[in-house]
Structure 1
Amino acid sequence: VSGNYAYVADYANGLVITDVTDPRNPQEVGHIDTAGHANGVYVSGNHAYIADWLNGLVIVDISDPSSPEKIGHFDTDGGTRGIYVSGDYAYVADTSNGLVIIDVSNPNSPEERGHIDTIYACGVYVSGNYAYIADERNGLVIADVSNPSSPEEVGHIDMGDKAWETFVSEGYAYVADQTNGLVIVDISDSENPEEVGHIDTYSALGVYVSGNYAYVANHVEGLAIIDVSNPSSPGEESYIDTDDLAQGVYVSEGYAYIADQTNGLVIVNVSNPSSPEEVGQIDTGDKACGVYVSGNYAYVADTSNGLVIIDVSNPNSPEERGHIDTIYACGVYVSGNYAYVADLGNGLVIIDVSDPSSPEEIGHFDTDGYAQEVYVSGNYAYIADWLNGLVIVDVSDPRDPKLAGHIDTDGWAHGVYVSGDYAYVADWLNGLVIVDVSDPNNPKLAYDMLWMTFYSVFGM
């Protein structure tokens, strides 16, 4: 998205340009066939740079979005999957051909400047003098690109696949990693975090810790309950299937509330962790991705269906009490009478839920990025804003939220949890980033833990 337009790499259909001035009524305004299969797009100024699979790099003039025009092309030797543009250079993830660096100072005549082999480069992000390469078969490769003509590998982390969510409790971060299962990190020293424990699960996407147990939303495998009384030696206690894809979980007073995508909200009695029992379920309308429980209500971030409020006073018979449309609710946090919704490209939406049957939007803050998750502490909302890093918003007046601070986390911030003076940011390819937020107006990097792909953070 750039300005009022969304630029979509639409595979065999090429580049599609959509006017999103009214997000509720998007209109296609332009299209261009790119000859290959458009896998990725990066917009800079008046140009769109397209990773066009076997057709290499395609450069399109989008100064008139209704009439895009191809002006440049560079054939790479692999299959282009990802692209990032910084300054005069396009960095192309070229699968079996590694990373290709292309000089695009003249978009009409792009030229290769540098190249570095990786096993199977699928994505790339550039920050400062470094390119962070997501390599499907080799984890994260870090290359020094201070001299684009001679890139040099300086670091590598074998990361498995995707770490989706982290729960912070009593000096430990519990990471749900889609390939590696549950990983436990000692964060008692925020400047020197250390992995201390690990247990394989099928496909961990979410985690919540309560007492001696970690409750893992395990995708198609449902809910896994892990004994973490000894963090250095976690052991599986039990497991229960859900009908769809368990993505998020919240535990309260003996019940686990699971955001189960198209199956809605699933409620499991976990008073005996060794023998969990499903007791309730309710369809939420779209794909339940996040859930927060406060009092007798479960607040479900239901993607394009917005925020759904469920009465769970009787967990055996949950009932919808309220609903409010938002653009694309990804995460939700409830504090007092307000629900704070991370609403993707719509930023932060603040909803008065004092009457759960009639929720009302009262505040909004555009975060510039794609709000993935939100955590509220005191008068501040901390937003994981994807490529825009961590955004801190002053919500002392919920009707008039204002920017307090911002920090670029270098990766793709997807999750955040705040404990004391620190915000723990799940920063995708950049791992776990720990930010000192003792002064919310001036957040500072405390530690950057490049050890796996983090996707989300949550804690208590």
Structure 2
Amino acid sequence: MKSKRFWMVSFLMGLFLFAFATDSSRVIGTQQEQGKAEPINNSKDAYCRINPSSNCHLLSQYDQNYGFPQSIYVKQKLFRTFAYVASGMGGLLILDVTNPQKPKKVGICDDLDFARTVFVKRNKAYVGSINGLFTVDLTFPKAPKLVGNYSELRFINKICAKDDSLIVSSDYNGLSIFNIKKKTSPTLVATFNNYSSYYDFEIRDNLIFAVGGQFVILNITDVTNISKVSGIDVYASRIILDENLVYLLNHQSLVIINISNTSDPKIIFNSLDYNSDIIDAFKKGDILYALDCKLGIVLFNTSSNTITKIGTFYMLDNFNDFSYCNGRFYITSEYSGIRIVEIGSNSTELQWIGYFKNGGGYTEDVFIKDGLAFIANGLNGLQILDVSNPFKPKLIANPNPFEGSFDSIVLKDELVFLANKDIGTTPGITVFNISNPRKPEKLVSSGGVYGQSFNQLEVKGDCLFLVKSWMSMFLSYVTYLKIIKISDINNLTVVSEIFLGEFYVQAMTIKNDTLFITSNEGDFFAFNISNPSKIEEIVHCKLSAGGMRDIVIEGNYAFFACPDFGLRIFDIQNLSKPVEVGTLKTTEEDYFSGGGWIQFSNGYVFLTDITQGLLVIDVSNIQYPRIVGQFQNVPSKKGSQLILQDILVKENIIYLSAGLDGLIIVSFNGLVPPVVRRIIIRRSLYISLTMIPAIVAIIIYKRKKNGKKRKNND
């Protein structure tokens, strides 16, 4: 009996051990499973990229319009985490960031002139300003108290400590060392000026590695007598120390120096062609995270003693500094206060899997149905591809090539409707019967009253909605909306026609009984189309000065692709008064970059960007959308820039209309969200727990059966 109990207990314990030993797990409160970080993709195919920028995502933003945040220092104290911010004219700001999604202001010390940098040791904060070095007592964080000031330094750049010494770099005084044994003001014990300003430095053992007008290595074995070990005439504003290498960063250059021999450091990599604005950096493993004012956080691979850009977490702002603590970046900005960005352990993969060369035409729009891709070609008419195998798309039909210049396409049942531009022989709308997709039959090629040439079309019920924009004789755009009855395809009739205004229509979409239209001047229209013969305007307002190139509606939100900005998100629950709730800037103020075409699928926005290519944006947090993947806008196979015209997402496959480059098919592996720190139940444990009742039942059944056998034997 004892042996049976022993084996039963051992068996159950084995199940539990198996459960905890496996990697597969489920996080309560999330919709997807955890995953491991993907390696950097070294594929020879330039179109196949993994963008590790998905490792970064914005947790929160603290902006109380208090001063101009310059530098930040983050430190843990017992079970709480504090951020100490040198806030320019705002002095020293103390935040509790224990919950990074809800930073809270704790205290302020504002009598510090213009605070530029801060360092915390024990219960003291040492604040460098434009007019001296200040000592602040942090015994009571809610009421920090100024206890000392050394006024002989100007424009302090960085402060750091080694034992009882405080090392300070400044613009005009070089490097200074202070003794901080006293509880009030530090005492100056040594300086190293060398007629140079020093912006940044790192300390290792008894050596200081400093950058400014030159790179120098200093010996501080005797803190009262700083001696120079070696140096190189190279300008840099930031330095990162990593084993036998140092990484030097200027606004537009990246340098690697080998310091295995500190007496003779050597430059092993020097890139002067980085065209952006790096102001700070942090290195973790082989990945260098650089804070760039023009882009956000730029990721570089440093595995082979070179610096190669591999990804970007886009944030455009006037950044000043960032600090790293426990997997998070704390970033200061003069315009947006403080942002907290987390480095996760997951990455999103976008991979080129299929390509169809359009044969000289210009791919404008695409519609996917039942494993077939229907393409509106700007020169080659309608093209039908078999994409059931997305790795090898095949052209199966191209009726009447070179007849018509199609710009937009939509399907209804077994009919294909195409908007025909005036370049073709018969502008207007063209209709094909595709019951046999290999031999489509043209039913309508219209001109006349409902013909002209149309930019966009949508279908709902037995009505076709078309918009037309053209240049009037007064050199201004004029836009009309037409609704055509298509119940009898051989007798198309105009139901209604509406003048919309003097602008160029950009996009049109239908959701339920509402028609949405956007313009190049930022006009946003919504119409009630429940009665097509008498449609009613719900709202007409301007939402973006730079125009809105495309729109997608999901739930109570409207997502706009804006050419001068990127992504804008509006709450349209009250459709008459749209409210902006989220933005993501992907470009500088340039109309010919930024958001192009947009799609929504499974919690992600897929945005084409003229300069950035395809961006995958996680909008699970509407207020803080974040880029989690990128299909780089690299040179096309024709040797020119890859220009994406339109986008369509089906399951995990993305179909991109790429103009002269035809149709490009990209796979999307999806994003695994960051770990939510809640109760975690491993899948195998869950299976084990569900198996226990069955196991117990089997044991009881066998014991009863054995009992009956014993009785029978007796």
TM-score, normalised relative to structure 1: 0.59
Taking the TM superposition and a 5 Å limit, the aligned residue runs for 1:14-33 are none
Change (3 A) 1:173 1:438: same
Displacement after TM superposition at 1:203 (Å): 1.6
Q: Contact 1:281/1:317 (CA < 8 Å) preserved in 2?
A: no
| Residues 1:424 and 2:655 aligned together | yes
| Residues 1:250 and 2:458 aligned together | yes
Give me the whole-angstrom Cα distance separating, in 2, the residues matched to 1:367 and 1:425.
19
- Out of 191, 194, 207, which is 2:409 matched to? 207
Taking the TM superposition and a 5 Å limit, the aligned residue runs for 1:442-457 are none
Q: What is the SS of the residue equivalent to 1:232?
A: coil
Q: Contact 2:364/2:376 (CA < 8 Å) preserved in 1?
A: yes
Give me the whole-angstrom Cα distance separating, in 2, the residues matched to 1:287 and 1:404.
32
| Residues 1:166 and 2:366 aligned together | yes
What count of residue pairs does the alignment treat as equivalent?
290
Displacement after TM superposition at 1:427 (Å): 2.0
| Residues 1:177 and 2:177 aligned together | no
Q: What is the SS of the residue equivalent to 1:274?
A: coil
Change (3 A) 1:338 1:240: farther
Q: Contact 1:172/1:188 (CA < 8 Å) preserved in 2?
A: yes
Give me the whole-angstrom Cα distance separating, in 1, the residues matched to 2:443 and 2:507.
24
Gaps of 5+ in 1: 1-86, 89-155, 443-460
Displacement after TM superposition at 1:387 (Å): 3.3
- Out of 280, 290, 312, which is 2:529 matched to? 312
Amino acid at match of 2:443: E
Q: Contact 1:386/1:414 (CA < 8 Å) preserved in 2?
A: no
Gaps of 5+ in 2: 1-272, 275-355, 470-477, 588-592, 635-641, 674-714
| Residues 1:331 and 2:531 aligned together | no
Displacement after TM superposition at 1:234 (Å): 1.2
More deviation in 391-400 or 268-277? Answer: 268-277
Taking the TM superposition and a 5 Å limit, the aligned residue runs for 1:9-408 are 159-200=359-400, 201-220=403-422, 221-241=427-447, 242=450, 244-261=452-469, 262-285=478-501, 286-325=503-542, 326=544, 327-368=546-587, 369-408=593-632
Displacement after TM superposition at 1:358 (Å): 1.8
Displacement after TM superposition at 1:306 (Å): 2.7
Q: Contact 1:323/1:358 (CA < 8 Å) preserved in 2?
A: no
Amino acid at match of 1:352: D
Displacement after TM superposition at 1:319 (Å): 2.7
Deviations, residues 30-77 of structure 1 (Å, cap 9, x unaligned): xxxxxxxxxxxxxxxxxxxxxxxxxxxxxxxxxxxxxxxxxxxxxxxx
Displacement after TM superposition at 1:424 (Å): 0.8
Q: What is the SS of the residue equivalent to 1:436?
A: strand
Change (3 A) 1:341 1:245: farther
Give me the whole-angstrom Cα distance separating, in 2, the residues matched to 1:243 and 1:271.
17
Displacement after TM superposition at 1:298 (Å): 0.5
Give me the whole-angstrom Cα distance separating, in 2, the residues matched to 1:331 and 1:390.
14
Where does structure 1 differ by over 6 angstroms across 4 or more consecutive aligned residues? Answer: none
Displacement after TM superposition at 1:441 (Å): 7.3
Change (3 A) 1:197 1:180: same
Give me the whole-angstrom Cα distance separating, in 2, the residues matched to 1:269 and 1:297.
17
The structure whose RCO (Cα within 8 Å, separation 6+) is larger is: 2
Give me the whole-angstrom Cα distance separating, in 1, the residues matched to 2:629 and 2:536.
39
Q: Contact 1:423/1:435 (CA < 8 Å) preserved in 2?
A: yes
Percentage of matched positions with identical amino acids: 22
Give me the whole-angstrom Cα distance separating, in 1, the residues matched to 2:374 and 2:358.
19
Deviations, residues 352-404 of structure 1 (Å, cap 9, x unaligned): 22222222222211223432110001210001112321101111122221112
Give me the whole-angstrom Cα distance separating, in 1, the residues matched to 2:585 and 2:453.
30
Q: What is the SS of the residue equivalent to 1:245?
A: coil
Which is helix-richer, 1 or 2? 2
CA RMSD of aligned residues (A): 2.4
Amino acid at match of 1:373: W
Change (3 A) 1:243 1:283: farther
Amino acid at match of 2:375: V
Q: Contact 1:260/1:289 (CA < 8 Å) preserved in 2?
A: no
| Structure index of larger Rg | 2
Displacement after TM superposition at 1:271 (Å): 2.0
